[in-house]
Copies of this chain bind each other. A is one copy, B any other.
Amino acid sequence: MNVNAHSAQDKTRLARALGERARAASRSLGAAPTAQKDRALESLARRLREGHRPILEANAADLDQGKAQGLSEALLDRLMLDEKRLEAVADAVLQVRALPDPIGEVTSTWRRPNGLTVQKVRIPLGVILMIYEARPNVTVDAAALCLKSGNAVILRGGKEALQTNLALHRVVAAALGDAGLAPEGAQLVQTPDREVMLALLQLDELIDLAIPRGGEGLIRFVAQNARVPVIKHYKGVCHVYVHAAADPRKALEITVNAKAQRPGVCNAAECLLIDRAAIGTLPAIARGLIERKVELRCDPAALAALQQEGLPAVPASPEDWGREFLDRILAVRVVEGLDEAMEHIARYGSLHTEAIVTQDLSAAARFTREVVASAVMVNASTRFNDGGELGLGAEIGISTSKLHAFGPMGLAELTAQRFVVVGDGQVRG
């Protein structure tokens, strides 16, 4: 591939070449036996472990350049690989290897009155375009998940991680080759500018799905410019709703865990809604959060309740509702009951994860029936909306689009289901 391609036409040509090679590779990958795919995954894990030197050198170069360009500490941390992190990446590959192969799975079978047998059978989607930002582990995670599910993948990582991604991709391509699979099954876009990505997003005859993961700006750009289907992995504005009939201890533990266990991720809570009837439990919850260094941005009723107890809190501004802080900040609002809580969630939620804390069966039933979100939790932390935690195995992301996949996307969500009909000469009358 010519990494010096400059003109728009060159970039369109480059994108098309990537798409066509991926399409060709997807045919053989889609038909590859499980054992062959698993051999490639074993080889990938081994090569990551044995060949960490050039990967870490490439990563050091990216980090140096990033520092020189003044990238934030948070971004540099996401970009950074060390032996321990690389070991975790190799472990994740072996976990994918251990999952059952979804391809060929018969998800249901039935017989028609005319004797036809109908099956629904999983096949790969075909070619997946993975668009992501600084985290280089996504290069390997996405390649492993796509490989196991028989899909070809085009990896388009952020330019900050280009050297690292090139080194990781060499390992992925070599592992495919070790197992006798086409190395074009996983290609890396070596010119990570927006023009090549834009050209790729037009190739609806070669690419079956684009999965953008990253900041809101990137996802919006992809969604607005794609002709290929897109599954969005958007922000998580998750709420914990403490109902009047909540168990106070569960309310405390769940709220603190949802906000503070890992504040920078999409399934962390950003807003606490609490029934006026349960406001007596707010000071204890607030103490738990304040101990974990969480700032509370409160509506007037919550603010008054906390100030009365001498607890620190600040007034919420209107923009704090529906905001993804990704930080040790929580918006707090007192509501009059279930209806007001569900209205708040319908207005400000992002379809990601919503939790209710209650001992009341009817309230839990209405909440789980009426709240639209990829995961609705009863008496459990929002942090459980995760492929591993829910038992799906590894995930390629958490979809906040309702179509095709809603919530964590594991191997099954990287497949389509086709009808296979077996007859004995039946014709339609």
| Interface contact A424-B379, CB-CB below 8 Å | yes
| Interface contact A402-B370, CB-CB below 8 Å | no
Q: Which of A152-160, A187-195, A277-285, A383-391 contacts B (4 or more CB under 8 A)?
A: A383-391
* Residues of A bordering B, CB below 8 Å: 27, 30-31, 104, 110, 112, 116, 118, 121, 123, 125-126, 204, 208-209, 223-224, 227, 229-231, 247, 249-250, 253-254, 256-258, 261, 346, 364, 368-370, 372-381, 383-385, 389-391, 401-404, 406-408, 416-428
Tell me the complex Cα distance, A403–B403, Å.
8
Query: Which residues from chain B contact A208 at a C-beta distance below 8 Å?
Result: 402-403
CB distance from A367 to the nearest CB of B (A): 10
Tell me the complex Cα distance, A390–B31, Å.
26
CB<8 Å pairs between A and B, sample of 19:
A31-B369, A112-B391, A123-B402, A125-B402, A229-B401, A247-B425, A254-B425, A254-B427, A256-B427, A257-B428, A258-B427, A261-B428, A375-B419, A377-B421, A380-B426, A381-B428, A384-B423, A403-B403, A403-B404
Closest to A372 in B: B123
| Interface contact B419-A378, CB-CB below 8 Å | no
Closest to A419 in B: B375
Query: Which residues from chain B contact A123 at a C-beta distance below 8 Å?
Result: 372, 402
Copies in the complex: 2
Query: Which residues from chain B contact A253 at a C-beta distance below 8 Å?
Result: 425, 427
CB distance from A387 to the nearest CB of B (A): 11
| Interface contact A421-B390, CB-CB below 8 Å | yes
Q: In the complex where A27-B346, A229-B229 touch, is A406 in contact with B418 (Cβ < 8 A)?
A: yes
Q: In the complex, which of the residues B125, B257, B373, B419 contacts A385, with contact meaning CB atoms closer than 8 Å?
A: B419
Q: In the complex where A126-B402, A370-B31, A418-B373 touch, is A384 in contact with B116 (Cβ < 8 A)?
A: yes
| Interface contact B374-A418, CB-CB below 8 Å | yes
Tell me the complex Cα distance, A31–B370, Å.
6
CB distance from A403 to the nearest CB of B (A): 5
| Interface contact A368-B261, CB-CB below 8 Å | no
Tell me the complex Cα distance, A381–B330, Å.
60
Known interface pairs A231-B403, A247-B425, A379-B424; 16 further A-B residue pairs with C-beta atoms within 8 A, sorted by A's residue number:
A30-B372, A118-B390, A118-B391, A123-B402, A208-B402, A229-B230, A249-B425, A250-B425, A261-B427, A375-B420, A376-B419, A376-B421, A380-B425, A383-B428, A385-B419, A407-B419
Q: In the complex where A379-B425, A390-B118 touch, is A418 in contact with B372 (Cβ < 8 A)?
A: yes
| Interface contact A426-B391, CB-CB below 8 Å | no
Query: Which residues from chain B contact A423 at a C-beta distance below 8 Å?
Result: 377-380, 384
Tell me the complex Cα distance, A364–B119, Å.
14
Query: Which residues from chain B contact A258 at a C-beta distance below 8 Å?
Result: 427
Query: Which residues from chain B contact A418 at a C-beta distance below 8 Å?
Result: 372-376, 406-407
Q: In the complex, which of the residues B391, B407, B419 contacts A390, with contact meaning CB atoms closer than 8 Å?
A: B419
Query: Which residues from chain B contact A256 at a C-beta distance below 8 Å?
Result: 427
Tell me the complex Cα distance, A123–B204, Å.
28
| Interface contact B209-A403, CB-CB below 8 Å | yes
Tell me the complex Cα distance, A375–B117, Å.
12
Tell me the complex Cα distance, A380–B427, Å.
6
Query: Which residues from chain B contact A204 at a C-beta distance below 8 Å?
Result: 223
- Select the residue from A256, A258, A372 with max chain B CB neighbours within 10 A: A372
CB distance from A243 to the nearest CB of B (A): 14
CB distance from A104 to the nearest CB of B (A): 7
| Interface contact B377-A402, CB-CB below 8 Å | no
Tell me the complex Cα distance, A216–B384, Å.
44
Closest to A258 in B: B427
| Interface contact A426-B379, CB-CB below 8 Å | yes
Tell me the complex Cα distance, A271–B384, Å.
51
Tell me the complex Cα distance, A104–B370, Å.
10
| Interface contact A421-B378, CB-CB below 8 Å | yes
Q: In the complex where A110-B391, A402-B416 touch, is A426 in contact with B384 (Cβ < 8 A)?
A: yes
| Interface contact A421-B257, CB-CB below 8 Å | no
